[in-house]
Chains A and B, each alone.
Chain A
């Protein structure tokens, strides 16, 4: 039991390590030495120590949104299971609460962007909300497919039953991992959807929404964006870690997969450019497409009469 909380605590302090990792990979690929992996931590500490400049146009929404954002990311983390150990909070339908908690913070971040009255932030908010309509729908298709496959309706029990590796499940896992990987890119606003390094171009989404934030609030937002990426990556790792291993090995594998995911993100950022904004929805629609294919396979698979060992209701 203790182990679970220790690992969750490690995850809570880890997000900036992963962001630093992406930057390091990009630097090495470009032949630079790059900033240290821990640089985002130094930035965070520096931001926390600073005061703030707040726009006179804004209302209370602008000031409460970052706190709600970080609170919901951390609460969402409580719902994500670890292999063998389960999650801190688990109940039937927890993935619905997971998705709606993230939507809650999205709602307030969009309002905060509109609160500044800046047209740049309006652009970002408008795009963010458009993409979230696709991502949320696809996420529910993914979870629905997994529920159909395992007959379970909570994160922990779904992942606990995904152990079997027949030809079909491997195919399904590949499809769902790709879908969830796109979700990581959207939630973390990374290339090819969004470029976190510039924020004054008209193609920006997330970065432009937080233009007016500074100091503690900005630190909160940066942290929760990084944490959201880790959270969705943890879902991918859960799909991939086989449960016939022993606990320590599976946990090491879990961490390894997380590191791998972020290195792949770094590689993608080094290799390809951001998509044209009109192509971004099409790219995110891949998520819907892959998850629907996965659902179709599962439905066909169940039809053929092969049932998983889930005990149903």
Chain B
């Protein structure tokens, strides 16, 4: 445990002392501390993950906090590994990326400082075992990430998004405080272990408390209807931070949910079914909105919502497996969810980093203004393609494996002789397929419009991407994606001990069975790969002696087309969006004068988030009206405030006189 805590402290020191160094040294100082911290954190975490068991350290803190223990079990160690490497990758990437902002000297100091604080608080969140300390580090995580989001605080919309994010987090934490307050009051201790006896005491009230926890953690993770902060905060933040938040930080919400499931002990069907349904809706809502986005980072943010939904579906099936006493289904569900946590970390960070390189070179995130980037940024575009294929869940890449496990969990739920689980399973089954198909649409859109074809606008600058610190995090992540995709059993073999925490001991047999099947699957996937290589070679040899001409795209005889007549992302997604306009409301404004001869006209289209429009905005309006009733208290008139002071003094006078 000491090693982990030393690592945490190293991150903290790195963040703090980077303030005192000059602009060029800052990143090197922070990076070297973050890198050294890995040597302390990773060996022990991998040790626990592979060999099971746990390690613990206890501190007696001053009174309100009481005894605080840090514990590293296999579940926590997986998250520690993700957080620690994620933070390191972000530090490496930021080294070059943040050069863009070198004119803002002070902000750059705060950037590395808060990056350090964010890494520390995330690490502490997953190992701390004391409710009060947990809430403190949880808040610290929200606040430090808030400061990172508003890094470009000279832009009003960034500040606005940042505040939206902060307020969403406060709403979430309110539920957590309520939940923790109740369990620690009734157990008389702040330690997580003592919560088990309170929560497992099954009555309808403990269900409510668990629901509070799920809502609180779900807000951080991005489940509907609390997902609306993601598409606002991610585009506002600098890319390194977006990647860290989307790939790593929202997973702490998932960690919280998994921890509560472990503490809860006896899961019942109400919780399992409602969690599963919410997750399914989250996945569909997220990806349907992603399909309609033009902003690259917003699209990625919505796709994070989708992936959180998929992880949630896996957890939901795991819970249903426990409810219906079928350890194979539970195993498939939890394994799929946990593998998808790792996978989403890898491909989402990769995609954000790729998007960052695009932004660095073109200074736009609007896909409709890009095009043809594959020619200018060959490395970035190849890596981005790997990420896109993986996130769409296609074979050869990691996303397929975790989705397959979740599909198998659902398919096996069909053979349980119970109508309600059958109906939920078929909904999940087709819902997941629907999600996968829309993901295919969204990512063919991003890749096809932004990276392929011709440039839609003239690019101003010379492109540069051959930067070790920008590309190395992406290459590292791409390698993990491909290894997991081709040899899934290697990654899955790391996860056995986590599953032991969720399932009874005798389910080890099933884990070995899954491992064996994944080895066979790996063989099939390699056969598929060899098919592809075989046909590519055939093509190569067939064309070797033939004439291959390079000419312009066939334009059907129309010679004066410009690159602007190419399909845009809006037009690409339009046929699909018109089918789901009930879920993703579209606003289309046509500015055209009703005259006989054509004049200049314009069209503008954007989409709205269903929940934002029909749930959050009306409630905010109502809340604002209610709070307006009290606005006379703060009128801004000096006289009124003087009267407040006088009234206060009068009360004091009366009180003192009255008491004496």
Contact = CB atoms under 8 A, between A and B. Distances in A.
- The yes or no verdict on A and B being binding partners is yes
Interface of A: 48, 50-61, 63-64, 66-68, 70-72, 74-75, 78, 89, 91-93, 96-97, 99-101, 103-104, 106-107, 110-111, 113-120, 122-123, 125-127, 129-130, 132-133, 136-141, 144-145, 147-148, 151, 153, 200, 211-212, 215-217, 220, 281, 295, 299, 302-303, 307, 310, 312-313
Given A56-B551, A96-B407, A137-B434, A144 B414 contact: yes
A132 B414 contact: no
Contacts of B102: none
Contacts, number: 253
Given A133-B438, A144-B426, A75 B528 contact: yes
Chain B at the A interface: mostly helix, strand, loop or mixed? Answer: helix
30 contacts: A55-B553, A56-B552, A58-B452, A58-B553, A64-B536, A70-B535, A75-B528, A111-B444, A111-B448, A115-B453, A118-B566, A119-B561, A122-B566, A122-B571, A126-B573, A130-B576, A132-B440, A136-B434, A137-B430, A137-B434, A140-B432, A141-B426, A144-B410, A145-B426, A147-B414, A147-B415, A212-B553, A215-B543, A281-B575, A313-B328
B328 A130 contact: no
Contact of B452 (A100, A115, A307): A115
B556 A200 contact: yes
A67 B532 contact: yes
Nearest to A74: B531
B193 interface: no
B375 interface: yes
B110 to A, nearest CB: 40
Interface string B574-605: 11100100000000000000000000000000
Contacts of B524: 89, 91, 97
A313 B412 contact: yes
Interface string B450-469: 01111000000000000000
Contact of A117 (B434, B454, B517, B531): B454
Contacts of B443: 107
Contacts of A99: 433
A91 B524 CA distance: 10
The residue among B328, B414, B417, B543 with the most chain A CB atoms within 10 A of its own CB is B414
A117 B563 contact: yes
Interface stretch (B47-55, B214-222, B386-394): B386-394
Contact of B448 (A55, A75, A115, A144): A115
A91 B520 contact: yes
A241 B429 CA distance: 27
Chain A at the B interface: mostly helix, strand, loop or mixed? Answer: helix
A57 B546 contact: no
B122 interface: no
B534 interface: yes
A139 B433 contact: yes
B296 interface: no
Contacts of A75: 527-528, 531
Given A54-B549, A153-B415, 8 more contacts: A57-B454, A96-B407, A97-B521, A101-B395, A104-B394, A111-B444, A215-B543, A299-B419
A303 B423 CA distance: 12
B178 to A, nearest CB: 39
Contacts of B20: none
B46 interface: no
A241 B29 CA distance: 71
Interface string B395-408: 11000100010011
A146 B520 CA distance: 24
6 shortest interchain CB distances as A-B pairs: A122-B567, A114-B448, A117-B453, A51-B546, A140-B433, A71-B531
Contact of A295 (B426, B444, B449, B548): B426
A233 to B, nearest CB: 21
A130 B579 contact: yes
Contacts of A60: 374
Contacts of A220: 535, 539
A78 B531 CA distance: 11
B532 A71 contact: yes
A220 to B, nearest CB: 7
Contact of B546 (A50, A145, A302): A50
Contacts of A101: 395, 528
B404 A114 contact: no
B426 A133 contact: no
Contacts of A200: 556
Contacts of A307: 417
B396 A104 contact: yes
A147 to B, nearest CB: 5
A63 B419 CA distance: 49
Contact of A133 (B425, B437, B453, B550): B437
A117 B566 contact: yes
A215 to B, nearest CB: 7
A91 B521 contact: yes
B448 A140 contact: no
A54 B551 contact: yes
B630 interface: no
B130 to A, nearest CB: 42
The residue among A101, A200, A212 with the most chain B CB atoms within 10 A of its own CB is A101
Contacts of A133: 434, 437-438, 440-441, 576
A166 B298 CA distance: 52
A100 B448 contact: no
A111 B452 contact: yes
Given A302-B417, A313-B328, A56 B550 contact: yes
Contacts of B563: 117
A74 B453 CA distance: 29
Contact of B555 (A74, A118, A141, A303): A118
B225 interface: no
Nearest to A79: B524
Contact of A126 (B407, B434, B452, B572): B572
The residue among A53, A66, A67, A313 with the most chain B CB atoms within 10 A of its own CB is A67
